[in-house]
Structure 1
Amino acid sequence: MTTHPLFDISGRRALVTGSSRGIGFALARGLLEAGATVVLNGRDEAALDAAASELGGLGPVHTAAFDVTDGPSVAAGIAGVEERVGPLDILVNNAGMQLRAPLLEFTDTDWHRVLDTNLTSAFLVGREAARGMVARGHGKIINICSLQSEVVRPGIAPYAATKGALKMLTKGMCADWGPSGVQVNGLGPGYIETELTAPLVRDEEFSAWVRRRTPAGRWGSTDDLVGGTLFLASPASDFVSGQILYVDGGMTSVL
């Protein structure tokens, strides 16, 4: 089987934040299978080591444990990655969290947790990774946005606020770093079946709503997100920047 050279990312170095499980793990696996060297990131070193062990047979995989919500930790973490692995070509800002509660009951502390994890982390890690990318004149940054970058349901207003802001941060990064050869895009998953969404998947009423509401008629899988990520990470997207690619089975397109 031959692959078009526009989609060749063999030898590229990629950092995926929040990649010890779920969507981040699946995207890291996809990048490895496509020939990239991948750095897994999270705060739990044991979880990262377990994930790296599981992926080790697919290609060169490394780990970097640092807190993506803390500026000094991010700066030291990115510097350490580039010293050990080499200059980063690809960054996937995947780290994120969800807290569900009525907005009137949402606490200040929880608001800041969601904001720092979903939005501030992308700014901090993106800024540090982009320093080298801008200097070298090339790079790919993929921010994991969401269906909720466009639409929202009751009980998740803070999450939607962060994902909507991440969409606009993506466009802002494009505006600032595009002239230096760095493409910045977003990937917007719809309802994806993961460990974190398992309670929703098991909720028969909610799952039935998802299937009815989605033209594809099903929940998405983490594998559904790999193709879009590889496109945005590859030379095939060299003239694509500031865009959000929704991988949602068509949900954002219909009423």
Structure 2
Amino acid sequence: MDTAALFSLEGRCALVTGGSRGIGRMIAEGLLRQGARVYISARKAEACDETAKELSEIGPCVSLPADVSTMDGIHSLVAAYGEHEKTLDILVNNAGAAWGAAFDEFPESGWDKAVDLNMKAPFFLAQAFKPMLLEARAAGPLAKIINIASVDGLSLNPQETYFYHASKAGLVHLTKRMAVRLAPDGIVVSAIAPGAFASNMNKVARDHGDEIKDRIPSRRIGEPEDMAGAAIYLASRAGDYVVGSTLVVDGGVNIAR
């Protein structure tokens, strides 16, 4: 058994939404270091361009700014990607949003915007990119869709993040439904449920890591290598038989809760 080839992504193309920062950037860097060509998308063009420039020092990385919370944004991203590639091996649905407010004050606008991004966008991105994923599968290894859920989709945190809990739980179940439908076509769908990783979205982990680490069984917050390793596993040959499952990467938080 060639274990190096088991985790290799040489010659494969990947698209990571929300790839300009945080978990998306960690994943994009990991895929690059395993040999993939990586395209990153984010709503803020300047940040997306800057990250792609920095990651290009590792391997080929291209910025494709887009707002995937809307159907127009999804179609624009597909068109922009199609100007560079005809096939897509790996789609990482990472773009997401968090919002917290008291039960009696929670706004509809926040609910709609965030649920569209966290749960609706992964489905319609997969639908729109399906022809390219099938083309990739016809020419080589299994195609992959990796949805980035959250440990908060599996158990409750103390904050009143109603839509976040609901949308991430929905994404976990959506992953199962998509996986069963697409596996016979050679497209493997799985998910990752991160715990505490330092990011602009998870400001508690970013700014107060030393304070919260004692509540994590592993006694630390997640590091870039933890997230990159999980994504590489699922994206590579090593993860081909992981169908519809959600890989929990949280240092033990979910079971400790």
Mark yes or no: TM-score above 0.5. yes
- Could you tell me which runs of 5 or more consecutive residues in structure 1 were left unpaired when the two chains were aligned: none
Tell me, yes or no, if the aligned pair for 1:95 and 1:118 is still in contact at 8 Å: yes
Q: Does 1:71 align with 2:71?
A: yes
Amino acid at match of 2:9: I
Change in Cα spacing, 1:41 to 1:173, as seen in structure 2 (3 Å) is same
Change in Cα spacing, 1:69 to 1:90, as seen in structure 2 (3 Å) is same
Amino acid at match of 2:125: V
1:21 maps to which residue?
21
For structure 1, which segment, 23-32 or 217-226, has the greater mean C-alpha deviation from structure 2 after superposition?
A: 217-226
Deviation at 1:203, TM superposition (A): 4.7
Tell me, yes or no, if the aligned pair for 2:197 and 2:205 is still in contact at 8 Å: no
Secondary structure of 1:230 counterpart: helix
Amino acid at match of 2:256: V
* Residue of structure 1 aligned with 2:149, choices 138, 145, 148: 145
Amino acid at match of 1:121: A
* Count of equivalent residues: 251
Amino acid at match of 1:14: A
Secondary structure of 2:145 counterpart: strand
> Whole-Å Cα distance in 1 between the matches of residues 207 and 24 of structure 2?
22
Change in Cα spacing, 1:43 to 1:254, as seen in structure 2 (3 Å) is closer
2:50 maps to which residue?
50
Secondary structure of 2:126 counterpart: helix
Q: How does 1:1-255 map onto structure 2 within 5 Å? A: 4-134=4-134, 136-137=137-138, 138-153=142-157, 154-199=159-204, 201-203=206-208, 208=211, 210-255=212-257
Amino acid at match of 2:155: V
> Whole-Å Cα distance in 2 between the matches of residues 9 and 244 of structure 1?
21
Deviation at 1:7, TM superposition (A): 1.0
Tell me, yes or no, if the aligned pair for 2:197 and 2:206 is still in contact at 8 Å: no
Identity %, equivalent residues:
35
> Whole-Å Cα distance in 1 between the matches of residues 165 and 225 of structure 2?
23
Q: Which digits, 9 at most, give the CA deviation of each residue in 1:100-137, with x for residues without a partner?
A: 11122110111101101111111121111223223545
> Whole-Å Cα distance in 1 between the matches of residues 201 and 72 of structure 2?
29
Tell me, yes or no, if the aligned pair for 2:196 and 2:250 is still in contact at 8 Å: yes
Tell me, yes or no, if the aligned pair for 2:189 and 2:243 is still in contact at 8 Å: yes
Tell me, yes or no, if the aligned pair for 2:205 and 2:221 is still in contact at 8 Å: no
What is the Cα-based RMSD across aligned positions, in Å? 1.8
Tell me, yes or no, if the aligned pair for 1:68 and 1:124 is still in contact at 8 Å: no
Change in Cα spacing, 1:3 to 1:54, as seen in structure 2 (3 Å) is farther
> Whole-Å Cα distance in 1 between the matches of residues 146 and 193 of structure 2?
10
For structure 1, which segment, 191-200 or 56-65, has the greater mean C-alpha deviation from structure 2 after superposition?
A: 191-200
Q: Which digits, 9 at most, give the CA deviation of each residue in 1:71-128, with x for residues without a partner?
A: 2331232133133133110000000111111122110111101101111111121111
Structure 1 runs of 4+ with >3 Å offset: 134-138, 198-204
Secondary structure of 1:216 counterpart: coil
Tell me, yes or no, if the aligned pair for 1:134 and 1:177 is still in contact at 8 Å: no
- Could you tell me which runs of 5 or more consecutive residues in structure 2 were left unpaired when the two chains were aligned: none
Q: Which digits, 9 at most, give the CA deviation of each residue in 1:175-221, with x for residues without a partner?
A: 110110111000110011223333555458xx53x323321011112
For structure 1, which segment, 26-35 or 187-196, has the greater mean C-alpha deviation from structure 2 after superposition?
A: 187-196
For structure 1, which segment, 174-183 or 148-157, has the greater mean C-alpha deviation from structure 2 after superposition?
A: 148-157
User: What TM-score, normalized by structure 2, do the two folds share?
Assistant: 0.91
Tell me, yes or no, if the aligned pair for 1:67 and 1:74 is still in contact at 8 Å: yes
